[in-house]
Amino acid sequence: MRDYIIVTENLSYSYKTAGGAQINALSGVSLKIERGEFVAIVGVNGSGKSTLAKHFNALIPPQSGKCVVCGCDCADSQNTLLIRQNVGMVFQNPDNQIVAALVEEDVAFGPENIGMPPEMIRERVRFALAAVGMEDYRRQAPHMLSGGQKQRVAIAGVLALQPSCMVLDEPTAMLDPLGRREVLSAVLELNRQKGITIVYITHFMREAALADRIIVMDGGRAALAGQPKEVFYQAEKLKKLGLDVPLPADIAWRLRQKGVSVPPVVTEEELAVALCR
């Protein structure tokens, strides 16, 4: 029997703009995310991906439909603390999550807030910094770090609470290529070595390609879902939705348009093997 950590059923959410216009951010979204899975959620700006992610951490309560996280209904405010202990959230700008003058103090902030004993806090800080490769920077001032290092500290701050799931809302959007690689490497390690469920919001298709499954949002709906090869095989549909595809998948699609039989591919290696055959 599958163990689902997040389940939504016909989840809908709308809000009003400053001008009074009604915006339907989510419209009847139904999905399931398994425990231990790495799911990437992609879509253009305004597609609803960030609004969806905020439901998973109970930052937004459902207006219509259901959102159940770790067996807890997000609509019940009494479940909010338990949900947030199980699902950590990492945002786009690490400066918005860093609150202390030293890296180790920042990572300790969450455990201190929930009243952990000092020895347990020290152990959690050691574990979290080691998990993201930042143990050598524990006595550094966060403002002296690079963008990628700051984001890894932000991830460590969430990890110190030992959540079952981490939701990352475009964590590499403000980073250079090196910073993106650092953060993505840390996230993959947490998923594959620590078994933490990852929900990864991104507009970088090369990052999404590393997930177990991709959910494509469009106009507040889940327009497409599947393994990376299945999703990127539908390159024409993705392009119509305003999304890019990894270069190997794009080349394969263009070849199929010319009548060349090419199987679904995501990486350069897969494309090379397919062409050689």
Residue 266 covered by a domain: no
pLDDT band at 23 (very low <50, low <70, confident <90, very high): confident
Identify the DSSP state of 79.
G
Query: If we measure between CA atoms, which residue out of 149, 192, 193, 189 comes closest to residue 171?
Result: 149
What whole-number distance in Å separates Cα of residue 89 and Cα of residue 265? 31
CATH classification of the domain holding 29 = 3.40.50.300
- pLDDT for 65: 95
What whole-number distance in Å separates Cα of residue 60 and Cα of residue 51? 8
**pLDDT of 1 above 80:** no
CB-facing half-sphere around the CA of 160: CA atoms within 13 A = 31
The phi and psi torsions of 169 (rounded to 5 degrees) equal: -95, 95
The phi and psi torsions of 8 (rounded to 5 degrees) equal: -120, 145
For range 124-128, the mean pLDDT: 92
The phi and psi torsions of 213 (rounded to 5 degrees) equal: -150, 150
CB atoms within 10 A of CB 157: 27
pLDDT band at 15 (very low <50, low <70, confident <90, very high): confident
Q: Return the SS3 of 226.
A: strand
On whether the CB atoms of residues 135 and 129 are closer than 8 A, the answer is: yes
What whole-number distance in Å separates Cα of residue 135 and Cα of residue 149? 11
The per-residue pLDDT for range 181-191, each reduced to its tens digit, is: 988 999 999 99
Residue 277 covered by a domain: no
What whole-number distance in Å separates Cα of residue 71 and Cα of residue 277? 48
What whole-number distance in Å separates Cα of residue 132 and Cα of residue 155? 8
Residue 105 covered by a domain: yes
* Angle 78-80-85 from CA coordinates, rounded to 5°: 125
Residue 179 covered by a domain: yes
Residue 276 covered by a domain: no
Query: If we measure between CA atoms, which residue out of 155, 159, 90 comes closest to residue 124?
Result: 159
For range 199-220, the mean pLDDT: 94
pLDDT band at 157 (very low <50, low <70, confident <90, very high): very high
Identify the domain containing residue 77 by its residue range: 4-245
Average per-residue pLDDT in the chain? 92
Residue 57 covered by a domain: yes
- pLDDT for 2: 82
Residues 6+ apart with CB under 8 A from 141: 101, 102, 103
Residue 175 covered by a domain: yes
The number of folded domains in the chain is: 1
Residue 253 covered by a domain: no
